[in-house]
Amino acid sequence: QIDDLAQAQQVVEDGLEVGYRLVDTAQIYGNEQAVGDAIKHSNVPREDIFITSKIWVDDYGYDNTLKAFDDSMKKLQLDYIDLYLIHKPYNDYYGTWRALERLYQEGRIRAIGVSSFWNERLADLITFNDVKPAVNQIETNVWNQEWKSQQYMEKEGVQPEAWAPFAEGKNGIFTNETLVEIGNKYNKSVGQVILRWLVQRGIVPLAKTVRKERMQENLNIFDFELSEEDMQTIASLNKDTSSFFSHYDP
């Protein structure tokens, strides 16, 4: 969600240089062009980069989705996209899903999925369509741990991805005594503890930062493992409440 295009391009270029290979953008973020420019200027081969974008509710419906997808691809300057998502479970997401199935079958999208779909909506989409969502991006962090959502997704073979893994710093997440104490035990920051906790749960975290040194720090989580006791301690922080809004509120 970086709307300054020059900064967005720099951030993606920095991320690729540091070692990131997944870039997550969306139509509504207004920065697909910057992402495309960064990939074009990068020395990293296209096939090594995993690009995700999402269609916004205003363009749902079969025909609108096909047009919106073409527009996104022009901005991204790509021949194919690795993952394309329905951003929210509103409007004609059925028509959009049928369009995504077609684009997937044509090879223009490598995988299709959804974002912020709660279990009922996800079950609805899975039951009445040919292609299952490969991914569901949902808010997942220590305050809103989404165990039931993960359980259902794993049963259906849908990969969970976590947006707002740091809850955008809300509720004093980076100074929480429990998380600080666990971090000290492993000589890691609170951010690294949170990312490691998600990875050990089998969830792909989407961590946003504009600072190169923080990007490096966020990647440095594969040289330690949280104990089962620490995993349970973090689980006890769960409030089962969004740090942002309720998806049930229209």
What beta strand segments (E) does 131-203 contain?
135-139, 159-163
Which tokens hold the place of 70?
A: 């073409």
Beta partners for residue 57, in sequence order: none
Burial class (CB in 10 A: 0-12, 13-18, 19+), 167: buried
Catalytic site residue 29?
Answer: yes
C-alpha–C-alpha distance, residues 9 and 14, integer Å? 9
Which tokens hold the place of 206?
A: 């989407």
Residues near 78 by beta carbon (within 8 Å), at least 6 away in sequence: 36, 39, 46, 51
C-alpha–C-alpha distance, residues 189 and 207, integer Å? 14
Cα distance from N-terminal residue to C-terminal residue, the chain: 22
Residues near 91 by beta carbon (within 8 Å), at least 6 away in sequence: 57, 58, 60, 61
The residue from 20, 29, 93, 152 that is catalytic is: 29
Q: State the angle between helix axes of 5-18 and 32-41 in degrees (0 to 180), rounded to the nearest 10.
A: 40
Active site residues: 29
